Structure 1
Amino acid sequence: MHSGANDRVPTPSRTSDLHLLLGSSARELVAAVLGASPFPAAEVRSVRPMSVTVQPSGAALVRYAVELGMPDATVVRETLVAATGSLLPRGAAVVEGDIDARQIAVGLWRWPNDPALPALPRLLDPHRLRSLLASADVSGEHPPIVRVLSYRPTRRAVLEITTGEQRLFAKVVTPSQLPGLRDRHDLLVQCLPVPRLLITTDDGLALMPALPGSSARTALRLRDPLPGPAMLEDVLDRLPAALTGLPRRSDHRRSAHHYGAVLAMTVPEEGHRVTTLADAIADADVGEHPIVPTHGDFYEHQLLTSGGQVTGLLDIDTAGPGHRLDDWANLLAHLSVTGTPQARRWRSEILWHVRDRFRMDDLCPRVASTLLGLATGPFRTQRAGWRERTRQRIDLAEHWLTSP
């Protein structure tokens, strides 16, 4: 693999896993998978990282786009994943070796055979998919067309299924996550426009119909009407009280330290700055706030809108107990990163609404923490110029902490 100036592999002391997965040895790992695949005679033409996850421990996970040259001169494109340390799921094929005077094990798999997401292959198998749709009373008159919308290896996948004029979404999670997902949908569908589950399977699959409208992110891009802050507040007010009985997620302080440590590994030249920033976020006095039902990942992509009305609330997997400010901070952070004139106007409108209800000193550290998390995104998605994009997001986090 070749790396440009913006794509150099990070070089701090605990990134030997990244050096292995992003360096020239990536081709050898891919060849190890192909040796047991239907393409043992294929030539590896290119190996390109599409997404990279790294933990403060040094554990890493990389999803590759691979081009294979076949003996008949055709080209086959494959998706492969490699993982190390705590990110290595049980059931992956493992290759072991020595690197930097220590033994390392790398788990490998080919799409869609993710060992942590056993339901995924059935959606790509036409016969099994038709059987699934039939059990959900979906008409089999038209052959289903499947489109992959997102794939986070070992964590989740979302696929769009179109059959005739009917549009469905399949969410695949780890089997252990399915009961919580099912419970949240059962709770929220009674009081909010969330998708009802048509069918779930014990191996981690949930099938649901499409809701009307398009995401608020799309509305921002097209300059369509957006829901006002009072309408968003109403959505949050309607979250059921029973959510407060669910397990609580990490708060903004722990998240800041986690993402600060990840950034220090992937952009080591910013290590002191992000560590200092994470400490300042964690040390800030943010007051006492009641525990209330929260969405947990409330931002424009989770809101479906039409004509300025909210028509759907998505990705409720994270719903649970928290502070109302957590949801507002998450939305404001995402809009700060988007940075378009329409997003700035909407953010300003929302900020005035929040200012009337909470102290800015309580809000700003939460926004800054979310922005530290978003700063890990450019490296994770391997976007062109990811280093500069990362710095810009760190700058935003610093700005929010001091003068929003």
Structure 2
Amino acid sequence: MNTPIKGRGATGRIPGRFETLTTHAVDDGWQAEDGEEFAPRALRTEVRSETARRIISRNTSPDVGFDRSVNPYRGCEHGCSYCFARPTHAYLNLSPGLDFETRLFAKTNAAELLRRELSRPGYVPRPIALGINTDAYQPIERKLGITRQLIEVLHETRHPFSLITKNALIERDIDLLAPLAEQHLVSVHFSVTTLDPHLSARLEPRASAPHARLRAMRRLHEAGIPVGVMVAPVIPWINDAELEAVLEAARDAGARSAGYVLLRLPYEVAPLFRDWLQAHHPQRAEHVMSTLGQLRGGKDYDSRFGKRMRGEGVYAQLLSRRFALASRRLGFNASREQWPWLDCSRFVPPVPPKKASPQGELF
């Protein structure tokens, strides 16, 4: 632990909270320079196919602006050290650490499932958030194309949806997104944590660099697709000083909506982030965690609705005020017209998939 791994966000494979057997690395004295035989193996990304049973997840959280989402992948190769979704790998008996970013699962039947769920009698359309738990445009999407397949179903059915990503790969799908935007059926937010490429490479090692995200934002905006920015997460004493600069850069790239989220450290994310701090910012580690504790009632995390995204206390109030002032100056969130609503009235249910007959086909 506490040793940076090139191209990865986590510094080790911490056990999940459901593990009954854990292992601990021990230095036996053999060094890699003593011979290739003892050198650590390179960490490669492993992708497994998953046949999902359902694809639309629902929630009742008042902290988010959607009640349903679709995630084409489990795990995320971006490797963001702070990712709130890391604990979900514990349910698979895998580590929320390195396993989360190196052992991925692709829901290869996602488009088929989405078509089936949208065709159910009585289905009432509401905007779907695409790629919330893990990024729908993470690097493996370039080869697998599951996100594009999902968008094709949403395009066919005129179903409204939103996207949030930190990968410029979304530019590939402008041909689908632009016509949908003309009908008020899609909106896109980019997560921009910092404008410093060196800090970004440490925080989110396999995500697109900040300038690439801003370039993609500009290209989508020029194609008529409404784009916004999420400064997420804001980390005290790491990237919080950049709040106004990120908002201004996004505004110049075409963003018309903005938001922010304070760093969240649920379950295994807290020890993972502590390790990241010790590996990259050991001098600030204690100060960062102390400030987070002040924001969360003395704890690493407070899961209460209304508090978990913003925190409370003097620092939280100052951050909220800074965001409000910058947003007003830059014209973010000023009117409904600036951020188009998503139109649910255009939805056309797909033809239900034909059930296979146990007797087979006669002709």
Asked if these proteins are the same fold (TM beyond 0.5), I'd say: no
Name the one with the larger helix percent: 1
Normalising to structure 1: TM-score of the pair? 0.27
Name the one with the larger strand percent: 1
Normalising to structure 2: TM-score of the pair? 0.29
